Each structure stands twice: as structure tokens, then as C-alpha cells.
Homo-oligomer: A and B are copies of this chain.
Amino acid sequence: MLKAAIMGFGTVGSGVYEILEKNADVVSNNARQPIEVKYILDLRDFPQYPFQEKFVKDFSVIENDPEVAIVAETMGGKGAAYEFTKRCLLAGKHVVTSNKELVATHGAELLKIAKEHNVNYLFEASVGGGIPIIRPMFQCLTANHMTQIAGILNGTTNYILTRMIRAGLPFADALCEAQAKGYAEANPSADIDGLDACRKVCILSSIAYGDHVYPEYVETEGISKITLNDVAYADKADCVVKLLGRTVLNDDGSIYAFVAPHFVSKSSPLASVEDVFNAIMITGDMLGDAMFYGQGAGKLATASAVVADMIDCARHNEKRRNIGWGDGSKKLVRPLDTFESGWYVRLKGKDAAEKLKAAFPDCTLLPSEIGEVACLTGKVSTKDMRAACEQLKNVAGCMRVL
């Protein structure tokens, strides 16, 4: 019997408790012993639940109880969660988490502390919710240089884009619908501005390239400027609009890491990932493309990854997982200026076609509406594209093509 604590009894935390109860058979079978929740830390009251004796409001109860071997941190944020995680690790407790913000911001430090105290800090649930992605990267793709990562990493924005594409809803209406369904929060900025996806890019890049990639180095653009016109042009180009988090490896070991909406060719498996689903495509120099697909969010899907991490700790209680990455001093991320790609450009105004052709002589014009013209360009560097957009003035839409 192993004793655990849950810190934060919100959506994911309560899901962790539910799975440990509901699937106690498979959990204890795989953990080689039962896992019992001894404490649940939350400042709120939950009078509706029968297990009142488990709720505590004082973190030190968990910290000072040597019987608690595993702590699930499902609080989110990087304030109290950061402090409590550190103190749990220092107290010799394994910590597992779904908190991408904390891993993206303090992962290197927390992994180092975990190593020094011979415990695990595991975070399978922090990227792709329930989709196995962290372990496959650490353990299965190790014979490869990962030349590229491209992921649909945020379910809320993918839902909004799917509704714009499938139902013809304008962005604002699709966002309202997502909020009504509980997929988007009242303040949806972390999702629609790409911040959530940015954190996940940081975690995936840190694993793939062995040195911490911090959010401030990852150029991040959201989906709020995307219109139904962009969506329609994508369709004409046999593409769909998707918000992608991407990392591209350069020959010198540096990387481009960014979040931006893209035109994704319908022939890519990423194009058919719809609604709140997530998918991460990883290209290895030996493996080629591999894709991991599933529910990137949701109470039980995410909690099932947290519980799997708890099971891993229980099963190998004495053996720490040999994972970690450098402190970020390698500064792997190179500015996007030199990164070349094909682009979609939409231009308003008279003579738009002529202007586009002049700016991008080898571009392909898409069948266009009155008063504007759109095209797909050949390879153009980010710097050149930004200069061209500046000069063209009335650019109404501009996205990379994948």
C-alpha cells in the first residue's frame, strides 16, 4: 500500500481521485500495490464529498508526513505550485504533474532537485493530456536526431478552428461556443493567444534537444486574427488552418521554436485532427514521421496520464527515472529571421494581384474574392516576408504553409 496526496482538487485533481477509486483494480495491478490518497490539499471546501477526512488546507501536513510517498500536483500556475513541488521533492517525495506552465518555466531546476534527492518529477500529462508523448520521446525515439516537431497542442483553439472550417462560424462566435461548452475559459487568452501551446513547445523542445527552452524565446502568435476568408482560401489551396507549435532542428544544433497558425496540407495526418483532439508529429532522421493522437485535455483523459505517472513511481519506487535536461545556458533557440518556408499571403486593394506577383514572382495565385487576392509563395525567409508585408501595406492575412 502506497500513500499519496493530491494538491489542487480542480478538474484534473478530482479526475485523479476518481480514477484511483474507479480503476483501483488495474491501478494496483500495474503498480504492484494499491495506491491510497491520504490527503487532498485545496483551500476550497467540498462538502458534497463523503471523504471529508482527506481534505487539508495546510500544505505542511503533506510535507511533514513521511508516509506520503507520491504527490500529484494538479494546482496549475507557477506560484504556490512551484514552492510546494520544490518542498515535496526536498522532502524525498515523488511529484507527478499536469502543470505545463510550471514545467515550462522551472522544469530544469525541479528535475535537478528531483535527481539530487533520488525521486521522480514526472509530467506525462503536461503535453497532449492523456496522449503518451513524454515517455516515447525519452525512451523510444532515442536513436534519432529529432529534426522536426509539429503539434496541434491546444484543444480549445483546435475546436474553434474546426467550427470555423466545418460550420462557417466567425472566430468570435466559435469562441463563444467553445466557452459555452466549457472548452474555453472566461478569459481565453492563454489558449487563443497561443501561450498554452508555447509552454508545450518548450517542454517538447527541452526533451528533444536536452537543454531547457524557456517560453520567452519561443515566438508565439495566436488565432484571433484568423477570418473565414483565410479559412476559405485554405480550402482552395487544399489545406486547413491549424495552430501549430513547431520546433525545427538546424545543422548546427540550434533550433527554431515557435507557435503560429499555419496552412496545413490536407495530405498531412495533422490536417484531419479535429475538435478538441491534439496530435504531435515528430520527425526522426532514422524513423521518419511518427504521430501521436488523442484527447489533449479533459478531466479523465488528462488525469489518466497523471495516474500512470503515479503508477510508474510506485512500481519503481526505489529506482529513479534517469530524465532531465540542461539549465538553458546553451540558448538553443535561434531567431526566426533566417527560417525559410512557403507562405500564404492575402492582400486587399486595387492591383493586389500585380503587387503580389511583383513581391513574390514565383507565387501561385488562389481563386480570389472581389477586392482582394491571395497567393501561396515559394520559400521565403521570415525576415524577407515581414519586410514584404510591411511594404505591401494592406496585407489581411499571412501564414506559413506546412
Contact = CB atoms under 8 A, between A and B. Distances in A.
Interface of A: 19, 22-23, 26-27, 29-32, 124, 130-132, 135-136, 139-145, 210, 269, 272-273, 284-295, 298, 300-301, 303-305, 307-308, 311-312, 315-316, 319, 322
A316 B29 CA distance: 24
- Counted per complex, copies of this chain come to 2
A308 B142 contact: yes
A290 to B, nearest CB: 4
9 contacts: A19-B286, A23-B145, A132-B132, A132-B290, A286-B301, A290-B295, A291-B291, A291-B294, A292-B292
Contacts of A290: 130-132, 292-295
Contact of A291 (B293, B300, B319): B293
A143 B311 contact: yes
B132 A136 contact: yes
Contacts of A307: 142-143, 286
A19 B131 contact: no
A26 B143 contact: yes
Contacts of A284: 130, 304
A316 B316 CA distance: 12
A135 B143 contact: no
A374 B300 CA distance: 41
A145 B29 CA distance: 11
Contact of A316 (B27, B141, B322): B322
